[in-house]
Amino acid sequence: MRDSDQGDWREALYEELVAARVSQVAYVPDAGHSHVITRCHEDPAITPIVLTTEEEGIGVLAGADLAGARGVLLMQSSGVGNCLNTFSLVRNCGFPIVTIVTMRGEWGEFNPWQVPMGQATPATLEAGGLVVQRVDDPGDVRAVVKHALHMAFEGGTAMAVLLSQRLIGAKTF
């Protein structure tokens, strides 16, 4: 993968948030999300909300929805388990939660401590009532994000998009 392709899919992700009129982006930082986080901070139409732990983002997105606003939660796969009890807001209230998850614990992962939660991520999200879509190819990011946002905000389905470690590039030290 060339650097320019990486830049392109990261910018495409941000552009789709703008196109879907997302106004709140809550996040726990991750290297894979750093471009979109920077772009959201530069965008006066988006309120970025830095969290101390991922489950705060589920509450924030639910609150935004109560006011008719659209929010997205950016996190790493290691944070997905933190959200589990708050997913009762998805099942019980139908909040159209959208999360975009950068994956660890797969595809050349050097750190075994990332593997348990990384491997449990799809099952955890599905247990919480979210529909899970995975992206491996940089050329697919725009379309998958676009259609996930559409399913959530036009259709009311809670959605998770997993950006795979193959897509992002395995972290090396």
Partner 1 sequence: METQQNNGFERRELVAQILRDRSDDLLVVTGLGSPTYDVAAAGDDPRNFYLWGAMGSAATIGLGLALARPQARVLVITGDGEMLMALGALATIGVARPSNLAIAVLDNRAYGETGGQASHTAHGVDLVAMARAAGFKETAHCDATDGFDAPRRLLREAPGPVLAACAIRSGENPRVMPARDGHHLRARFREAIGVA
Q: Are 37 and 74 in contact (CB under 8 A)?
A: yes
Sheet containing 71-76: give its strands across. 47-50, 24-27, 71-76, 98-102, 159-163, 131-135
Return the structure tokens found at 154: 């036009």
By CB under 8 A, residue 62 contacts partner 1: yes
Min. distance of Cβ 8 from partner 1 in angstroms? 30
Please give the C-alpha separations between residue 111 and each of 20, 36, 52, 172, in angstroms, as whole numbers. 35, 25, 23, 9
Pick from 18, 37, 49, 131 the residue near partner 1 by CB under 8 A: 49
Report the residue number, 85 or 111, with the smaller CB distance to partner 1: 85
Return the structure tokens found at 12: 């495409």
Q: Which of residues 130-169 bind partner 1 (CB under 8 A)?
A: none
Q: Are 168 and 10 in contact (CB under 8 A)?
A: no
Only one of the segments 57-65, 115-123, 125-133, 145-153 lies at the binding site for partner 1 (rule: CB under 8 A); that segment is: 57-65
Min. distance of Cβ 166 from partner 1 in angstroms? 32
Only one of the segments 7-15, 65-73, 114-122, 138-146 lies at the binding site for partner 1 (rule: CB under 8 A); that segment is: 65-73
Question: Where does this chain bind partner 1 (CB under 8 A)?
Answer: 23-24, 26, 47, 49-53, 55-69, 71, 85-86, 88-89, 92-95
